[in-house]
Amino acid sequence: MTESASSEPEPPSPKPRAAAAGNGMRLVVPLQGVVQGRGGLILGSLIPCALFYFFQLYLKRHRSPKRPPASSSNPPSPSASSPNHGDLARTSSRSNLLGRGSIGPVQLSSRGMAIAKPNDSPYYVGLEKVAGDPFHRVDNPDGKIQLGFSENTLCFDLIERWMKENLMDSLMGGDGAELSINGMATYQPFDGLMELKVAMADFMSRVMGKGVSFDPSQMVLMAGAAPAIEILTFCLADLGNAFLIPTPYYPGFDRDIKFRTGVELIPVHCRSADNFMLTVTALDQAYNQARKRGLKVRGILISNPSNPVGNILSRETLYELLDFAQEKNIHIISDEIFAGSLYGTTKEFVSMAEIIEAEEFDKSRVHIIYGLSKDLSLPGFRVGVVYSYNENILAAAKRLARFSSISAPTQRLLISMLSDTKFIEEYIETNRRRIRRMYDLFVGGLDQLGIQCAKSSGGLYCWANMSVLIALYSEKGELELWDKLLNVGKVNVTPGSACHCIEPGWFRCCFAALAEEDVPLVMERIGKVAEMCKSGQ
């Protein structure tokens, strides 16, 4: 209406309208003036803005101080969807403008809000679904089978037996009752007891091959690999910096590295043609692209054996990585948490520590992450290691360890266990043997269903190519298959997209928490879904 009026040089409409209307026209006239560019700009824009502002002020002043609906409607479960989070953020900045006494929704920090949002990654969703309906051979034979969590229960019998035979030592620390109470009830060094560091150093060199020895004084212990990687990140990178990371990678890194440090992860895509092995070309490309985007790369994070593929990096690749890091003046973080979970027979695991010891590289940029969650099957005990050659990083990590220290009685128990070298040797060897057996059974079973796995040598999982089963060769197709496997097949696997894999159709299947007799059932269920897909359902 007003537009057509404004196209005429002399609008005839205002006059008759002004004559006809009452109070309303006093508002409309300035607005028309704005549109016609006749100096009604100030009034025409100020008045509505002012009205809006005062209306908001009125609303805020008179809103009840009770729990705002947005946050109170959330059930405590972390998976609850909270669609109002975005609104909360915006409103808070407005409440700031209104100053003291404004009653608005309660503000958490922006990073707090981001973290509290439910995680819709299939990695986490799958884990939760199984937790709600877990398979049990006797009690719940129709429950969902967990193949999405890389844990190892194959050698618990050994540990249980050791516990039974060595109980007094394990609690009392070998020194009698006196030590146990004082040990747990007084403050201990935050970066771990020296005896545990010595025991861990010994364990690590047994696990990684006798060619390398670890120095306990270069170790900082903390409550799990998650705090270990976070603390190392805080030491190596500032907010907004980045690490290069080969894909596919462990979904947990998105949390452990990014959550609170504000450090970015830049994927370096690896392809099936290379068996998902990292190439320096890809690394270089990713590095340059990051630079162009203005991101400062502080390091490369590799996992070796890799998760989720299970590759072992060759000596040559490790040399190339070190050269690259030296050239760009960045760090290398080698997550070797699966070093003891090997099943391959052709390739030999080489730790970064071994390369570094032997060659003339600048050691100050190399750091190793380790832990007992995988190789000793004790994730509940929370033991992680940062191993570094850089004394400044060590000093910084030691101070940060106070936020994540290992519980003292757990340290004492482990000192006992790890010092029993005969038991440890037996454990390492038996563990490898049993993992190998499960791997053969599982991969063999998949093979019979026409599903091939990537060539791998370590880890508690295999990397299966199910692209033949997906209708649409895309992430969407992959997720549809994942959903079928989870809800129809009742088997939870981790889809490649959750691991940032660039090729759709790959799935990580963990087999080390299964019993041998359950494998045929797993294959049957996967087979059923495969049939469904092939017949186009």
Number of residues that bind other proteins (CB under 8 A): 109
Q: Which 337-376 residues touch other proteins, going by CB under 8 A?
A: 362-365, 373
Burial label for 494, CB within 10 Å (0-12, 13-18, 19+), is: buried
Rounded least distance, CB 405 to other proteins, Å: 5
Question: Among 177, 88, 131, 251, which residue's Cα sits nearest to residue 409?
Answer: 177
Answer yes or no whether residue 11 interacts with other proteins by CB under 8 A. no
How many angstroms separate the CA atoms of 342 and 338, rounded? 8
| Only segment of 60-68, 419-427, 435-443, 460-468 that touches other proteins (CB under 8 A) | 60-68
Of these residues, 254, 256, 335, 375, which one is catalytic? 335
Residue of the chain from 14, 33, 40, 104 that contacts other proteins (CB under 8 A): 104
| Other C-beta atoms lying within 10 Å of the C-beta of residue 57 | 13
Rounded least distance, CB 230 to other proteins, Å: 6
Residues 204-233, mask of contacts with other proteins (x by CB under 8 A): -----------x-xx----xx-xx--x---
- 337 has catalytic annotation: yes
| Only segment of 29-37, 323-331, 466-474, 514-522 that touches other proteins (CB under 8 A) | 323-331
How many angstroms separate the CA atoms of 316 and 297, rounded? 23
User: Element (H or E) spanning 72, and its range?
Assistant: helix 69-72
Burial of 292-325, coded b for 16+ CB within 10 Å and e otherwise, reads eeeeebbbbbbbbbbbbbbbbbeeebbebbbebb
| Only segment of 32-40, 112-120, 202-210, 310-318 that touches other proteins (CB under 8 A) | 112-120
Burial of 69-95, coded b for 16+ CB within 10 Å and e otherwise, reads ebbeeeeeeeeeebebbeebeebbeeb
Question: Among 477, 509, 467, which residue's Cα sits nearest to residue 492?
Answer: 509
Residues 126-145, mask of contacts with other proteins (x by CB under 8 A): -----x--------------
User: Which residues lie below 8 Å from residue 170, measured CB to CB, with a gap of 6+?
Assistant: 163, 412, 413, 416, 417
Q: Are 353 and 214 in contact (CB under 8 A)?
A: yes
Rounded least distance, CB 27 to other proteins, Å: 35
- 250 has catalytic annotation: yes
Tokens of 499: 């691991």
Question: Among 442, 535, 445, 529, which residue's Cα sits nearest to residue 482?
Answer: 529
Of these residues, 123, 124, 250, 427, which one is catalytic? 250
Residues 302-321, mask of contacts with other proteins (x by CB under 8 A): --------------------
User: Element (H or E) spanning 385, and its range?
Assistant: strand 384-388
Residue of the chain from 134, 143, 206, 255 that contacts other proteins (CB under 8 A): 255
Of these residues, 229, 300, 337, 451, which one is catalytic? 337
Q: Which is nearer to other proteins, 230 or 503 (CB)?
A: 230
Rounded least distance, CB 478 to other proteins, Å: 26
Q: Which is nearer to other proteins, 303 or 405 (CB)?
A: 405
Rounded least distance, CB 451 to other proteins, Å: 28
Answer yes or no whether residue 164 interacts with other proteins by CB under 8 A. yes
Residue of the chain from 2, 56, 71, 430 that contacts other proteins (CB under 8 A): 71
User: Which residues lie below 8 Å from residue 415, measured CB to CB, with a gap of 6+?
Assistant: 173, 193, 195, 196, 199
Q: Which is nearer to other proteins, 334 or 373 (CB)?
A: 373
Q: Which 433-472 residues touch other proteins, going by CB under 8 A?
A: none
Using alpha carbons, list the distances in angstroms from residue 191 to 183, 211, 384: 15, 26, 11
Of these residues, 328, 374, 398, 484, which one is catalytic? 374
Q: Which 382-401 residues touch other proteins, going by CB under 8 A?
A: 382, 389-396, 398-400
- 422 has catalytic annotation: no
Rounded least distance, CB 252 to other proteins, Å: 8
How many angstroms separate the CA atoms of 382 and 405, rounded? 9
Answer yes or no whether residue 335 interacts with other proteins by CB under 8 A. no
Q: Which is nearer to other proteins, 99 or 141 (CB)?
A: 99
| Other C-beta atoms lying within 10 Å of the C-beta of residue 201 | 20
Q: Are 277 and 311 in contact (CB under 8 A)?
A: yes
Rounded least distance, CB 477 to other proteins, Å: 30
Rounded least distance, CB 466 to other proteins, Å: 28
Answer yes or no whether residue 83 interacts with other proteins by CB under 8 A. no
Tally of residues, the chain? 537
How many angstroms separate the CA atoms of 381 and 475, rounded? 36
**What is the C-alpha radius of gyration for the chain, rounded to an integer number of angstroms?**
30
Answer yes or no whether residue 24 interacts with other proteins by CB under 8 A. no
Q: Which 282-301 residues touch other proteins, going by CB under 8 A?
A: 298
Using alpha carbons, list the distances in angstroms from residue 485 to 120, 452, 482, 536: 17, 17, 5, 15
- 124 has catalytic annotation: no
Answer yes or no whether residue 326 interacts with other proteins by CB under 8 A. no
Answer yes or no whether residue 251 interacts with other proteins by CB under 8 A. no
Q: Which 84-103 residues touch other proteins, going by CB under 8 A?
A: 95-96, 100-103
| Only segment of 287-295, 407-415, 465-473, 515-523 that touches other proteins (CB under 8 A) | 407-415
If DSSP codes are grouped into helix, strand and coil, which group holds residue 429?
Answer: helix
Active site residues: 250, 335, 337, 374
